[in-house]
């Protein structure tokens, strides 16, 4: 009898303790994660003179890809830059899991030993970062060199400009935590919005509504929802005066039908949550300057770039969260 109870007790203990210990091993807080990443970037900067924000920008780009794509594994370590076994060990290397620096080099693999343990481990954060740093060093440590290195690596203009934007954001704000968001209109004004993403559109042929319309009075300030780079500013016949901002997670925030832009706002500049970028208007649906064809509102859209293509997703749930959070922080 005692034996049986003892067995059940052991089993219970195992059930109760195990999941929490697994949880503790795998899950580190976002804050800890950012701290660890920053430590690795700065350590690499000290060793190579490559600015930490270049390394951070590439890593963040890769991280966003891995979180938005199903064909590549989710990030496991602290660093998200990824090498295939072929790239790491060399395509002709008979040992695709090779960690020997000598034979990897012999087979033209890129793998390096960053933490000095004598092994080039494809899944070790420091080894991965040292390998990418080594690649960048072939070009140099300034903006123009970095741009060329990115182009040779990714062969996609949009990817190069997205990563350059991230580097600028990190450099400007001096930190990795740039995830803060805010509702696009200040809460002191009246506004209303419904979930209309995906609805059919009447004007301009067969299109779906790629956003949420926030109705408010003409001229109510429109603010950046995020830390980001002004990627687009200008007129188009559907959206009127519009602004596009790319945030740190490859998400593009689109503001349309504006009454105008904030005077100082320039293409390529950095913005932060709550910064005024323009006003609510009714511009669009015609040649430049057309206005007043519909009640004033902010058309707000969100798009995700996954390194190959970009698609619209529903901003409504995010707007709801940001509005609630702004009310709480008021």
Question: Which residue from 167, 142, 220 is spatially nearest to 60, judged by alpha carbons?
Answer: 167
Which listed range, 47-55, 57-65, 175-183, 206-214, lies at the site for Zn ion (CB under 5 A)? 206-214
Q: Is the CB of 13 or the CB of 194 nearer to Zn ion?
A: 194
- Site residues for Zn ion, 68-87, by CB under 5 A, read none
Q: How far apart are CA 109 and CA 276, in angstroms?
A: 49
Residue 299 found at the interface with Zn ion (CB under 5 A): yes
* In the complex, least distance from residue 298 CB atom to Zn ion, rounded to whole angstroms: 8
Q: Is 181 a residue that touches Zn ion (CB under 5 A)? A: no
Are 248 and 179 spatial neighbours (Cβ–Cβ below 8 Å)?
Answer: yes
Are 164 and 157 contacting, i.e. CB atoms less than 8 angstroms apart? no
Whole-number minimum distance, CB 211 to Zn ion, in Å? 5
| Residue from 213, 247, 305, 323 binding Zn ion (CB under 5 A) | 213
User: CB of residue 213 vs Zn ion: minimum separation in angstroms?
Assistant: 4
Backbone CA torsion sign across 306, 307, 312, 316: positive
What is the rounded distance in angstroms from the CA atom of residue 181 to the CA atom of residue 245? 13
Residue closest to Zn ion, measured at CB: 299
Interacting residues with Zn ion between 103 and 162 (CB under 5 A): none
- 253 binds Zn ion, rule: CB under 5 A: no
Shorter beta-carbon distance to Zn ion: residue 82 or 299: 299
SS3 59: helix
Cα–Cα separations (whole angstroms), residue 31 to 150, 167, 175, 257: 28, 20, 12, 37
Contact 276, 222 (CB under 8 A): yes
The nearer residue to Zn ion, 127 or 213, going by C-beta atoms, is 213
Question: Which residues bind to Zn ion, rule: CB under 5 A?
Answer: 211, 213, 299
């Amino acid at each position: 009898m005692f034996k049986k109870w003892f067995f059940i007790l052991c089993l219970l203990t195992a059930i109760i303790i195990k999941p929490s210990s697994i949880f503790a091993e795998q899950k580190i807080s976002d804050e800890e994660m950012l701290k660890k990443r920053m430590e690795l970037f700065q350590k690499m900067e000290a060793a190579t003179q490559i600015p930490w924000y270049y390394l951070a920008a590439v890593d963040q780009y890769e991280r966003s890809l891995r979180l938005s794509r199903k064909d590549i594994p989710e990030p496991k370590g602290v660093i998200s830059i990824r090498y295939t076994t072929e790239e790491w060990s060399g395509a002709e290397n008979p040992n695709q899991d090779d960690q020997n620096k000598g034979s990897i080099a012999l087979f033209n693999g890129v793998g390096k030993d960053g933490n000095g343990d004598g092994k080039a481990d494809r899944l070790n954060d420091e080894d991965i970062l040292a390998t990418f740093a080594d690649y960048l060093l072939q070009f140099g440590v300034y903006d123009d060199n970095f741009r060329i290195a990115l182009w040779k690596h990714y062969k996609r203009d949009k990817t190069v400009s997205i990563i350059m934007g991230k580097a600028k954001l990190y450099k400007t704000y001096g930190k990795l935590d740039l995830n803060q968001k805010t509702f696009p209109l200040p809460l002191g004004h009246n506004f209303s919005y419904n979930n209309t993403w995906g609805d059919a559109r009447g004007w301009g042929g067969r299109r779906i509504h790629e956003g949420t319309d926030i109705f408010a009075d003409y001229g109510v300030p429109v603010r950046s929802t995020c830390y980001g780079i002004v990627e687009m500013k200008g007129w188009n016949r559907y959206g009127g005066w519009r602004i596009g901002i790319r945030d740190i997670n490859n998400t593009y925030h689109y503001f349309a039908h504006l009454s105008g832009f904030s005077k100082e706002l320039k293409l390529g500049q950095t913005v932060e949550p709550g910064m005024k970028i323009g006003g609510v208007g009714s511009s669009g649906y015609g040649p430049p300057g057309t206005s007043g064809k519909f009640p004033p509102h902010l058309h707000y859209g969100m798009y995700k770039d996954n390194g190959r293509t970009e698609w619209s997703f529903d901003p409504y749930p995010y707007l709801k969260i940001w509005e609630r959070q702004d009310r709480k922080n008021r």
